Amino acid sequence: MITLGIESSCDETGVALYDSEHGLLSQALHSQVALHADYGGVVPELASRDHVRKITPLTERVLQDANKTLDDIDGIAYTAGPGLMGALLVGASFAKSLAWSMGVPALGIHHMEAHLLAPLINRQTDALGLPFVALLVSGGHTQLVHVKAFGDYEILGESVDDAAGEAFDKTAKLLGLGYPGGPKIAEQAEQGDPTRFRFPRPMTDRPGLDFSFSGLKTYALNTVQSLGPLSKQDIADVSAAFEIAAVDTLVIKCRRAIEQTGAQQLVIAGGVSANTRLRAELTDKLTAEIVYAPLALCTDNGAMIAYAGALRMLGGAQENLSINTRPRWPMTELPAI
């Protein structure tokens, strides 16, 4: 089965073609980072308009790259939520109308489930032994999920305030590093002195699997304000202290989740799972096998939507012609695959 995947939940237009027999055929991505740079954050209306501009040429490109035509597509998967309403509607309307015109099914996909499944693209689904634990860490979410079966998710813990990626982005902004902050902080941290500052590890001194990252960001703000004009070394040192504390906090909670569930594998997914320190520390400090996607499949992309769509459509999932997007959508409401 060949599925076309369309991702448009935030500031990236991602399109891909996935073949359930031969794996990922092609993918194309357009980032809107430059478009929103002057505004200090994603402007929803500008995001929607840019998705409208890019979605057709990107679809044409993935077909061309894979040497396929529309007639080769068996189904279209699109991100139905969570995300920005207008941005989601662009992908959903495009996917539904194209699918209707071609006489193939369209299916709305949960963006975080797609992140969770991304490490399985181009592997066998039995590469993961159920049940396992997943750490979903992106710009909008930080969640520990007990995956009992594909589609059967129990939230073990989540952030009570900022997501981990959001804390990276806000800290990078106050250091003048630009967006997205995660890779910029990681790059600076490599030059930093890890011993100069010690940032807190929020909510690790009490039991439980919830996270809080807003205090860490405030701690970074207070540190920056106490330093006055920042030197290059200050920026690198604050970046190192922040990254070490954020990663340490995630590692402590992941270890607890593994102990609590007895799971043998920990999947890490979402933009922050691209972080090299996080991958290395988890591998070093946990007994469970750490599983993650290749870098290009950690941040938002169309391939993960095409893949999740293929799994669900092959499992028999269907929907009617109406367009249902869900800006907020708990993963626990999904049906099993």
Q: In angstroms, give the least distance from the CB of 184 to ligand KG4.
A: 8
Restricting to residues 252-311, name those near Zn ion by CB under 5 A.
300
Nearest to 18 by CA among 129, 93, 107: 107
Q: In angstroms, give the least distance from the CB of 326 to ligand KG4.
A: 15
Restricting to residues 300-329, name those near Zn ion by CB under 5 A.
300
Copy the structure tokens of residue 25.
């055929």
Q: In angstroms, give the least distance from the CB of 20 to ligand KG4.
A: 24
Nearest to 254 by CA among 335, 147, 163, 133: 133
For residues 73 and 55, what is the distance between their CA atoms, to the nearest angstrom? 16
Helix (H, G, I), strand (E, B) or coil at 25: strand
Count the residues of the shown chain that bind Zn ion, applying the rule CB under 5 A: 2
Residue 281 interface partner, choices ligand KG4, Zn ion, none, CB cut-off 5-8 Å depending on type: none
Burial classification of residue 110, based on how many CB atoms lie within 10 Å of its CB (0-12 exposed, 13-18 middle, 19 or more buried): buried
- State which residue, 142 or 261, has the beta carbon closest to ligand KG4: 142
Q: What is the DSSP string of 39-64?
A: GTS--HHHHHHHHHHHHHHHHHHHHH
- State which residue, 237 or 300, has the beta carbon closest to ligand KG4: 300
Binding positions for ligand KG4, rule: CB under 6 A: 10, 138-140, 165, 168-169, 180-183, 186, 270-272, 274-275, 299-300
Nearest to 117 by CA among 334, 316, 274, 305: 305
Q: In angstroms, give the least distance from the CB of 208 to Zn ion.
A: 25
Residue 180 interface partner, choices Zn ion, ligand KG4, none, CB cut-off 5-8 Å depending on type: ligand KG4
User: Of 138, 143, 223, 325, which lies in the binding site for Zn ion, with binding defined by CB under 5 A?
Assistant: 138
For residue 152, count other CB atoms closer than 10 A to its CB: 15
Residue 81 interface partner, choices ligand KG4, Zn ion, none, CB cut-off 5-8 Å depending on type: none
Q: In angstroms, give the least distance from the CB of 334 to ligand KG4.
A: 17
For residues 95 and 99, what is the distance between their CA atoms, to the nearest angstrom? 6
| Interaction site with Zn ion (CB under 5 A) | 138, 300
